[in-house]
Structure 1
C-alpha cells in the first residue's frame, strides 16, 4: 500500500497474463489507471502512460459510449425494418475513439470526419432523436432529414463526408482558419485506414506542415477498408508514421483513457508546433455498411474474440468496478436508464415527418447575409440562416 498526493491510496496488483498493472483507488472519487504504451514517430516524448479519472468523468465516458452503442444497435434494427434506407455505416466497437477525443478538446475546437459519423454527431452535441431522425429522413434530423447517414452536421462539426478521404484536406482548411484567426483552436480531421492510401491525404499533410497548421489527423484504423484487411491494401500498416515529416502516435483505440491522454498531447502539439497524426487501433463490429454482413472477409470467431477481450465499454466498466468508482448495481441502473432513453428518443424521431418539397433547394449556404439563389426546384430560396 502506498500513499500518493497525501490523500489517495493506490494498490497495484500485477496481472500475470499481460504484465500490466491495475491501479485500484481506495478513494471512490478518483482512480489512476495505466494505459498501453504509445508508439511514437518523430517525437522525443509522448503522452502520459497513466491516466487519472474522476468518478464523474468516468461515468460520463461510460454513459456516452453506452448511448452510442445502443443508438447504433437501434439503427441496425430499424434499417432491417426498412425505416432507414440507403447507406448506413455503424460505429459500434469504435466508441472509445470519439468519446476519448471529444473529452480532450474544447467545444470551440472543430471536428470533421468520414461517413461513419453517427457517434461523432452525438458527442458533438446532437441528441439521439436528431441523429436517428436524420437517418429516417425526417424534419427533426440534424440536417433536416436531407443528409442521411453520411452527412450530419452541428456547431463546430463539419460532418461526415461520403467521398473517401475528402474530409482530410477540408480539415486542413478548417485548421487554417484557426491559424488565421489566432484563436488557439484546432481541427480534428478523422479518416479510416482505407482513406489513408488516398493521395489527397498526403497533399493535406504537406500543406499543413508547410504552414504549421493546428490540425490533428486521426486515422481510425478499424482493420478493414470496406471488405479488405489492412495487410492486403497497405504496404505499410504503420499509419502513424506515414506523414513522414509529420510526427505521429499509435494509440490503443479501444481504451477511452488512452485516447483521451493521446488527444491532450496531440492538441498541445498542434497548437504549438503544427500537424500531428494519431492512429487509433480500433475495430468495427458491424460490416462496412448495412449491405455488408461482415463475415466474408473475417470470421465470426474473430469478431467474438474482440468483443470478449477488447470491447471498449465492458473493459472500461470492469476497470471502474475494480477501482471501486462504481458498483455493479449502479452500472445496471445506468444501462437500464440508457436503454429507456434510446426508446424515447426513437419515438420522437419516428413522430417527425418528412421535409416539405420546398426544402429541396434550401440550406445550400450558411450565411448571415440574406441572398436569393436559384434552387434545385421551381422555387427560389432566400438564404438567411445564421442559427442553422
Structure 2
C-alpha cells in the first residue's frame, strides 16, 4: 500500500453532501441502471450466455456504499456483481466485454457475468455460490490489519465492503466471519442487500429472525438498518461504518432494505412475486426518487440531469461497440490465467 495516501477531507463530512457529489452519485446510479438494461437487450439477442442476474432497483446500495470508499479500499460481491464493479471504477467497456466472453474483458472472458474481477480496482470478484465471498472479504480485511500491525505500514488501513443477500444471512460463513471480524477488529463492512427474496423464497419465510441487522448483537458489532432505496441514507451509514473501520474500531453490519425490479435472473419468469408488491417497490425507484429530490429542492436544474443522461448513454454505446469489436479468446490460451505468470 502507498504510505503517502491521503483521504479526501469530504469523505467523512457525513451530514453535508455538496452538489458535485450529488451529481456524482446520480450519475453512478444511472450508469448502473442503463448498463443493466442494455445487458438484458444483449442477452436476449444472444450476445451473452449462461445466467445473468441484473441489479435494477438496488443501485442506491452500490452507489451509497462504494462511492464512499477510496480507491485503495476493497469490494467483494456476489453473482449480481456488474453494478458493484462499475461503482468501484471498473470501466463499462471492460465489464461489457467480459459479459460477452471477450479477451478484452476484465477477466479476459473467463469469468463472465458471475465472476467479474479486477485487481487494479481492488474488486475481489463476484461469486456464483452464496456466501463464498464473505471469507474472501474477511481475508482482505485481515491483510489490512496485518500490514498495519505487523508490517508497520503507516498509511490508512484499507476497508473492505462485502456485499451479499438476505438468503446468505442464514449460511454458516456469515456467522463465522462476523465472529472472526469482531474478534480481530477487522476493517470490514458487511452489507446485506435485503431485496426480500432469495431466488423464489420470501425472506420472512426463510428465517426465524427476519431483522438481519439484529443478528449483529450476538457478536458485539453495530447492526444498522437503512432504507436501501435512499442513496443519501445509505451513504451516511456507510461513511460512519468506514470511519469506524479505518480507525481500527472494527466491523459494522448494514442491512439495506431494497428490491430487485427484475426476476432473479434473466431466465426467471418472475411469477412468484405479486404484481401489487412489485408495483409498490417500483414506485420508490431510487433513481427517480433522487432525481425528483434534486430538482424539487433546486439543487440542480434539468440541464444538469440531461447532460448526465447523454454522458451515460455515450458510455454504454462505447461499451457495446468495444465488446462487439473485441476478439474472442484463442483456443491455445485455454489454460492461461490458471496460475500466476512471470512478470
TM-score calculated relative to the size of structure 2: 0.89
**What is the aligned partner in structure 1 of residue 336 from structure 2?**
362
CA distances 1:16-36 after superposition (whole Å, capped 9, x unpaired): xxxxxxxxxxxxxxxxxxxxx
Alignment partners' CA distance in 2, 1:384 and 1:58: 43
CA apart distance, 1:361: 1.6
Alignment partners' CA distance in 2, 1:142 and 1:281: 30
Between 1:66-75 and 1:263-272, the stretch displaced more is: 263-272
SS at match of 1:133: helix
CA apart distance, 1:333: 3.5
**What is the aligned partner in structure 1 of residue 152 from structure 2?**
none
CA distances 1:172-231 after superposition (whole Å, capped 9, x unpaired): 111000000014121111110011110111111111121111111111111100111101
**Cα RMSD (Å):** 1.6
Unaligned runs of 5+ in 2: 1-11, 149-155
Alignment of 1:146-225 (within 5 A): 146-154=110-118, 155-182=121-148, 183-225=156-198
Larger relative contact order (CA 8 Å, sep ≥ 6):
2
Deviating 4+ runs (over 4 angstroms): none
The partner residue of 2:229 within 242, 254, 264 is 254
Alignment partners' CA distance in 1, 2:146 and 2:308: 44
Alignment partners' CA distance in 2, 1:97 and 1:343: 25
The partner residue of 1:273 within 225, 249, 272 is 249
CA apart distance, 1:364: 2.4
SS at match of 1:53: coil
SS at match of 2:49: coil
CA apart distance, 1:133: 1.0
Unaligned runs of 5+ in 1: 1-46, 367-382
- Report if aligned partners of 2:195, 2:259 keep a CA contact under 8 Å in 1: yes
**What is the aligned partner in structure 2 of residue 286 from structure 1?**
262
Higher alpha-carbon Rg: 1
**What is the aligned partner in structure 1 of residue 9 from structure 2?**
none
CA apart distance, 1:115: 0.8
Aligned residues: 320
CA distances 1:123-179 after superposition (whole Å, capped 9, x unpaired): 111111111111110112110111000111113110101111011111111100000
- Report if aligned partners of 2:66, 2:161 keep a CA contact under 8 Å in 1: no
TM-score calculated relative to the size of structure 1: 0.79
The partner residue of 2:296 within 322, 347, 351 is 322
**What is the aligned partner in structure 2 of residue 334 from structure 1?**
308
More strand by share: 1
CA apart distance, 1:88: 0.5
- Report if aligned partners of 1:286, 1:293 keep a CA contact under 8 Å in 2: no
